[in-house]
Amino acid sequence: MIDEIKAIARRHLATDGANLSLRAVARDLGMVSSAVYRYFPSRDHLLTALIIDAYDALGAVAERADAAGPRDDLLGRWLAVAGAIRSWALDNPHEYALIYGSPVPGYAAPADTVPPATRTTAVLAALLRDAVAARSGSGDGGGPPLPAAVREDLRRIAADPRFGGIPDAALARGLALWTELFGMLSFELFGQFNNVIEHRDAFFDFQMRTAAAVAGLG
Amino acid sequence: MIDEIKAIARRHLATDGANLSLRAVARDLGMVSSAVYRYFPSRDHLLTALIIDAYDALGAVAERADAAGPRDDLLGRWLAVAGAIRSWALDNPHEYALIYGSPVPGYAAPADTVPPATRTTAVLAALLRDAVAARSGSGDGGGPPLPAAVREDLRRIAADPRFGGIPDAALARGLALWTELFGMLSFELFGQFNNVIEHRDAFFDFQMRTAAAVAGLG
DNA sequence: TGTACATCAGTGAACGCGCGTTCACTGATGTAC
DNA sequence: TGTACATCAGTGAACGCGCGTTCACTGATGTAC
């Protein structure tokens, strides 16, 4: 029943965005609006459940894509993960907007949305770690030096075992890869590519290959 | 008066996001809600005006930052433009969300939002062209080959004189730069950096320098 | 097998509020003669 | 200088609708004896 409510609420994201109406959801369920309160204490709790589900779904998709190919084909794994994330986003644009789009005014995501949110990034981190191991210390190439302030953040991130064991420079590059991937997706999904990029599959694939080459994921 | 309405409406973006209420705006103006209709034929027209203003304001900020430094300091110009865009976004997060965030459900931006939207990208294009000229054909480095489908899009983009005169490979890299910049900003503004990156000025500066080096804007 | 009772999913009415948009209007201002 | 008129910014009431949340309730189901 909780699942049924969420399924219908997800459908309402398409028409109402994050302002989805509890009454409209109840109406579609063939219930009276107050009945929903037996399952969710408030509209915001329902929204939170949808956010958690979306992060989890995307994380699962990324994990599955990563696990599908051979471990040592790093470029293949990266392209598979990036492509799977993009496919999910294109299939579920409103859920993507819910988690990576503008914050909902008046809504503050509670702390229990954080763990599901890191699932996807953990996949990228594992990939990064494997890439570093494969190159076995080939150096970080040129580029500007890492400022101390940034180093500090990187060390804190690396305190989580899922993100540990990656040299600072590689982790910094990984973060750039992460923003590039989602920057690309947000532009595509939020309309910035309209009248600009039409061959989006090819464009995305090309840019992800380029980004991988730059980051040494080749 | 139109300006006054827009100013108050902008303030309401903070609390209501894109669902700003015409009645609330009128209330703050000390007017009755129907009076606003003398100036804007509908709520969506007001929203459109805000969108156009936001694109224009950001475009102006980018143009000013670009014009401030010496022409041949390409890295300096890039960092100035990127920094100015970021500053504007941090100062006007709700306007940023309006133009670069999730699309507003039920609202389709009309065609006259397009020209102001391209102002900012035109600044980046000019920078790119100058960079290509300065290197005077130093080649595009390695990286994966440009697929024909992507080339097609690039040629269409280059048909606009503001984006012309840039080799395909450089233009493709410029698009990556563009997505990297706004991907970074969206992550910062939409909360993905919470508990991840705390030294955001330094992180942004570092990533923009790295991206510039990769794109040959050094 | 049959009765008494507890559980609890869902009801329906109500509270108090908000919204966008329309329409006939008022009344101050400024113009024309 | 003074009157008649047009303009038009802003009013106020109304239409028809929506919302989240509360609360006492019904009535079917399942359990215990």
Give residue-wise pLDDT tens across range B81-134.
999 999 999 999 999 999 999 999 889 899 999 999 999 999 999 999 999 988
| pLDDT on residue B141 | 62
**For residue range A3-57, what is the model confidence (pLDDT) as tens digits?**
999 999 999 999 998 999 999 999 999 999 999 999 999 999 999 999 999 999 9
For residue A191, give the chain B residue with the closest CA.
B103
Judge whether A159 is closer than 8 Å to chain B, CB to CB: no
CB of B140 under 7 A from strand C? no
Q: Shortest CA–C1' contact from A34: which nucleotide?
A: D21
Amino acid A113 reads: T
pTM of the predicted protein model: 0.94
Question: What's the rounded mean pLDDT across residues A112-140?
Answer: 87
Angle at B59 between CA B58 and CA B61, to 5 degrees: 65
Of B157, B180, B197, the CB nearest to A183: B180
Chain-chain contact of B199 with A106 (C-beta, under 8 angstroms):
no
Q: Does any CB of chain A come closer than 8 Å to the CB of residue B158?
A: no
| pLDDT over 70 at B138, yes or no | no
- A&B contacts, CB < 8 Å: 162
Does the nearest atom of strand D lie within 7 Å of A42's Cβ? yes
Chain A residues within an 8 Å CB radius of B199: 147, 149-150, 152-153
| Residue A210, CB, strand C, below 7 Å | no
Q: What is the pLDDT of residues B162-211, one digit of tens each?
A: 998 899 999 999 999 999 999 999 999 999 999 999 999 999 999 999 99
CA of A15 to C1' of C18 (A): 20
Among all strands, which nt has the closest C1' to B35 (CA)? D10
Q: Is B190 on the interface with A (CB under 8 A)?
A: yes
CA angle at B86 for the pair A125 and A169, rounded to the nearest 5°: 30
CB of A37 nearer than 7 A to strand D: yes
pLDDT at B40: 96
Q: Strand, coil or helix: what is A216?
A: coil
Q: Cα separations (Å) of B87 from A187, B5, B54, B94, B200?
A: 20, 25, 14, 13, 12
Angle, CA A139 vertex, CA A157 and CA B136 arms, to 5°: 110
What are the φ/ψ torsions at residue B72 (nearest 5 degrees)? -90, 0
User: Is residue A115 scored above 60 in pLDDT?
Assistant: yes
CB contact under 8 A, B180 and A179: yes
Q: Between the CA of A35 and the C1' of D25, what is the distance in angstroms?
A: 13
> Rounded to an integer, what distance in angstroms lies between the CA atom of residue B87 and that of residue A6?
38
How far is CA B47 from its chain centroid? Answer: 17
Q: How many Å apart are A32 CA and D23 C1'?
A: 14
HEC string of chain B equals: CHHHHHHHHHHHHHHHHHHCCHHHHHHHHCCCHHHHHHCCCCHHHHHHHHHHHHHHHHHHHHHHHHHHCCCCCHHHHHHHHHHHHHHHHHHCHHHHHHHHCCCCCCCCCCHHHHHHHHHHHHHHHHHHHHHHHHHCCCCCCCCCCCCHHHHHHHHHHHCCHHHCCCCHHHHHHHHHHHHHHHHHHHHHHCCCCCCCCCCHHHHHHHHHHHHHHHHCCC
Q: What's the CA A22/C1' D24 distance, rounded, in angstroms?
A: 22
pLDDT at B26 over 90: yes
